[in-house]
Amino acid sequence: MNVKTIRWERDEDVLVLLDQTRLPGEVVYTKCRDIASVAEAIRRLRVRGAPAIGVAAAFGVVVGVQHSRAADFASFSREVDEAAELLAATRPTAVNLFWALDRMRRTVREHGSNTVEDIKRALLSEALAIQSEDEHTCRLIGEHGAALLRSGQTVLTHCNAGALATAGAGTALAVVYQAHNEGKRVHVYADETRPVLQGARLTSWELNRAGIGVTLICDSMAAQVMKEGRIDCVIVGADRVAANGDVANKIGTYGVAVLADAHDVPLYVAAPYSSIDLSIESGAGIPIEEREAAEVSQGPGGRTAPEEVEVYNPAFDVTPARYVSAIITERGVARPPYAESLAALSHHAWEPAVTG
């Protein structure tokens, strides 16, 4: 059973998040009772990973307006827009955030003739639907991706695209979990993923907990590990995929992709269809979040660089589509040329899971 990253507590009407800044040392759940605490949790990476950010933001809208005293549709709808704008300003790169907020806004529009209390209920149902659809999506990504793995293979991954990054089993790691469930022997090398160590703190934690063999390496070791022939394929997640197949993911992914290409190792990107942004032609149009200097100049043990040193801290990079062997989605596996294969997936009939 995978770890539960996000939960809606019906008794108290609160959003409960596993605080990922405390892992691997402590498993602490934090309750978000107002929109400011949801926005803070997303910004501070208490909840992170593109699909999980989308799910948290959907519940964030619910938390933000559930005690609204708006008397009519126009003022309630304005409050929803304000809540969505506040959440949209938390992190710019993962498109799932904006996709989920759009769904919440659409829900309000579709219930224009209902009472405010009915719309509040509809918003909660929509957030729960986004959550349960994500669980289903992760399962399907796992199934499509596991077909690409053979028993005895070793996968390198970067950052955390596991259960901690979604409402379900993950994206890249769902592939590993599914292969494992099918009885295949799979081992994972996890890049530690500086600056904030999602690979070391989160990926190795959740794989270890699931009983999957994992070897932690520093990011700078990936080239040598590939040269030694230890890696059969790379599987990573995505924060946003452009229409041409360029992939924005955690900083360092691009470097891993170039290394994989140099060593003839296939690189697979596993992502829900909601991470694919056909409105953006190429990776050049994807906004890259820049985070604070302290993430680079300080490590968990304290300061690692002089206080006055200048720091540049882009949180994501863009891997050109030519380095991507396939993109694994819940709708199927897209292969190059992506301009055609990703567009074709948009017509793919896909039924979301029935939600309760």
By CB under 6 A, name the binding residues for ligand MRU.
45, 48-51, 94, 159, 161, 165-166, 170-171, 198, 237-239, 249-250, 315
What are the two backbone dihedrals, phi and then psi, of residue 44, each rounded to the nearest 5 degrees? Answer: -85, 5
Cα(32)–Cα(22) distance, integer angstroms: 16
Q: How many C-beta atoms lie closer than 10 Å to residue 218's C-beta?
A: 12
Among candidate residues 134, 191, 219, 239, the one labeled active-site is 239
Question: Closer CB to ligand MRU, residue 164 or residue 225?
Answer: 164
Question: Closer CB to ligand MRU, residue 184 or residue 194?
Answer: 194
Which residue has 């691997």 as its token pair?
24
CB of 138 to ligand MRU, least distance (A): 9
Question: Closer CB to ligand MRU, residue 165 or residue 327?
Answer: 165
Question: Closer CB to ligand MRU, residue 130 or residue 238?
Answer: 238
Please give the torsion angle defined by the CA atoms of residues 16, 22, 28 and 30, in that order, rounded to the nearest 10 degrees.
-30
Q: How many C-beta atoms lie closer than 10 Å to residue 289's C-beta?
A: 16
> Smallest Cα–Cα separation from 256: which of 286, 215, 305, 219?
219
CB of 251 to ligand MRU, least distance (A): 8
> Smallest Cα–Cα separation from 343: which of 332, 354, 351, 352?
332
The closest residue (CB) to ligand MRU is 237
- For 280-284, the CB contacts below 8 A with 24+ separation are 280/240, 280/242, 280/243, 281/242, 281/243, 281/244, 282/242, 282/243, 282/244, 282/246, 283/242, 283/244, 283/246, 283/247, 283/248, 283/318, 283/319, 283/320, 283/321, 284/246, 284/318
Question: Closer CB to ligand MRU, residue 41 or residue 128?
Answer: 41
> Smallest Cα–Cα separation from 81: which of 35, 49, 113?
35
Whether 239 is catalytic is yes
What are the two backbone dihedrals, phi and then psi, of residue 319, each rounded to the nearest 5 degrees? Answer: -90, 120
Cα(91)–Cα(149) distance, integer angstroms: 33
Question: Closer CB to ligand MRU, residue 141 or residue 265?
Answer: 141
Cα(179)–Cα(202) distance, integer angstroms: 20
CB of 248 to ligand MRU, least distance (A): 8
Which residues participate in catalysis according to the annotation? Answer: 239
